[in-house]
Chains A and B, each alone.
Chain A
């Protein structure tokens, strides 16, 4: 009799391992959208989360304000000195914008890679186990959010929309390791240098920009922005600043280590970027195996 029970337990274990492998395989395969039970569960919990997170944000905001009050004096002094330059700059910007508009009209070019429509959203949750760096935001399909859109904060790019449900969506942060997640980036200098944001150094907290041609010069302190050449990201979203450059494994390319401009922790409000320029049909430009953004 005990023998029989031992076998039963073993069988349950084996069956559950098979189910586990099947489920992991099911969820790892490339999915254009989540299955409806998952969407239902996510929407329901998303609703509860937004109920809970709004008061918490309010309380946290209150304490943050108190902290801000402490260093108001010093900040005020510095800001005053900056504001004098700002007036000058503003006039200049206005002139340049007007110039740009006129030239664009002459060329007959209406939209550029730079144009986008911002959709503000609030963070209502974050993956607690932090292997898959993800946040959940309170805007979904009904608000016009689509898969793969860029997500930024005031200080720079933080990630892209991974999955959308009706009322909420998940954003995969740049600090997540996903070999399929590649963002076309450009290092701004006298001559622009192109590469891909691919991977994150967990220990140093730096982004890796790979596939930079070995001949090109990349220096410390240069700014890295999105190039807009991938699919859905607009041009000119801030990514970060170069900290270090090193040759890659085989010496054919260089890898730049970039300190991200945005803080991946303590995110409260984000902006989802909807690029206005139409996207080329994917099948026309690739074999559909490698996705670049």
Chain B
């Protein structure tokens, strides 16, 4: 049973992201901004921080590939960025102590890196012609705000779940 909890959780978040966007209206609080949910990536980062590098990067690669195939149809963008940023965050948190506050800040940093990385890649392959300032105003700030709120809510349950999981792995 324990083995299936993590894949099921990530699959659920994977689908939840698309449902969230589907029901999101164009204007929120009167602003026409683009809010991108990163539920899956936040939990992947928490997995890397609280369970371990190996787990984090493998799950990040698998779900990055899935994301690319199902939602983006250009394979490579998330397949590369998810594990790469997970690894960077893991390295960063070796310097600091891993607790709720550092994990929160690190996941915010991870999301900003992801957003900028995806923007640069899409700009490179001409999926978008939005200029950088436009990107920052239209997408970056709102996305960061949304995900900060989500991380704030989900941080404690995620930490609890992953710590329990890693303890159970150790005793096995």
* Residues of A that sit less than 8 Å from B by CB: 16-17, 19-21, 23-24, 26-28, 34, 38, 41-42, 45, 48-49, 52-53, 56, 60, 123, 125-132, 134-136, 162-163, 170, 177-179, 202-203, 205, 263-267
Residue of A nearest to B20 (CB): A128
A76 to chain B minimum Cβ distance, whole angstroms, is 25
Indicate if the CB atoms of A179 and B76 lie closer than 8 Å: no
Which of B42-50, B99-107, B124-132, B155-163 contacts its partner?
B124-132
Specify the main secondary structure of chain A where it touches its partner. Answer: mixed
Given A23-B79, A27-B75, A130-B36 contact (CB < 8 Å)? yes
Q: In the complex, which of the residues B11, B22, B24, B69 has the most CB atoms of chain A within 10 Å of its own CB atom?
A: B22
Indicate if the CB atoms of A128 and B37 lie closer than 8 Å: yes
Interface presence of B122 (CB below 8 A): yes
The complex places the Cα of A42 from the Cα of B71 at a distance, in Å, of: 9
Indicate if the CB atoms of B134 and A127 lie closer than 8 Å: no
B123 to chain A minimum Cβ distance, whole angstroms, is 10
Q: In the complex, which of the residues B11, B69, B73, B127 has the most CB atoms of chain A within 10 Å of its own CB atom?
A: B73
The complex places the Cα of A267 from the Cα of B76 at a distance, in Å, of: 28
Contact partners of A267 in chain B: CB under 8 A: 22
The complex places the Cα of A266 from the Cα of B18 at a distance, in Å, of: 12
Given A125-B22, A179-B126, A205-B26, A23-B75 contact (CB < 8 Å)? yes
User: For chain B residues 134-171, which have a beta carbon within 8 Å of chain A?
Assistant: 134, 138
Q: In the complex, which of the residues B24, B70, B74 has the most CB atoms of chain A within 10 Å of its own CB atom?
A: B70
Indicate if the CB atoms of A134 and B71 lie closer than 8 Å: yes
Contact partners of A126 in chain B: CB under 8 A: 18, 21-22
Indicate if the CB atoms of A177 and B70 lie closer than 8 Å: no
The complex places the Cα of A42 from the Cα of B130 at a distance, in Å, of: 29
Indicate if the CB atoms of B36 and A202 lie closer than 8 Å: no
The complex places the Cα of A224 from the Cα of B103 at a distance, in Å, of: 51
A54 to chain B minimum Cβ distance, whole angstroms, is 11
The complex places the Cα of A164 from the Cα of B29 at a distance, in Å, of: 36
Contact partners of A128 in chain B: CB under 8 A: 17-18, 20-21, 36-37, 71
Contact partners of A20 in chain B: CB under 8 A: 76, 79-80
Contact partners of B98 in chain A: CB under 8 A: none
Interface presence of B25 (CB below 8 A): yes
Residue of B nearest to A22 (CB): B76
The complex places the Cα of A223 from the Cα of B15 at a distance, in Å, of: 37
Contact partners of B69 in chain A: CB under 8 A: 38, 41-42
Contact partners of A202 in chain B: CB under 8 A: 128, 130, 134, 138
Given A23-B76, A27-B73, A131-B122 contact (CB < 8 Å)? yes
B118 to chain A minimum Cβ distance, whole angstroms, is 7
The complex places the Cα of A191 from the Cα of B122 at a distance, in Å, of: 40
Interface presence of B77 (CB below 8 A): yes
The complex places the Cα of A202 from the Cα of B119 at a distance, in Å, of: 14
The complex places the Cα of A31 from the Cα of B42 at a distance, in Å, of: 33
Contact partners of A34 in chain B: CB under 8 A: 73
Residue of B nearest to A204 (CB): B32
B94 to chain A minimum Cβ distance, whole angstroms, is 14
Show 26 residue pairs from A and B whose CB-CB distance is below 8 angstroms, ordered by the A residue.
A16-B80, A20-B76, A23-B76, A24-B125, A27-B75, A42-B70, A48-B15, A52-B19, A56-B23, A125-B19, A125-B70, A126-B22, A128-B17, A128-B37, A129-B36, A129-B71, A130-B36, A131-B122, A132-B71, A132-B127, A177-B127, A177-B128, A202-B130, A263-B26, A266-B23, A266-B24
Contact partners of A178 in chain B: CB under 8 A: 127
Nearest 4 interchain pairs by C-beta:
A23-B76, A128-B17, A125-B18, A24-B76
User: For chain B residues 82-125, which have a beta carbon within 8 Å of chain A?
Assistant: 84, 118-119, 121-122, 125
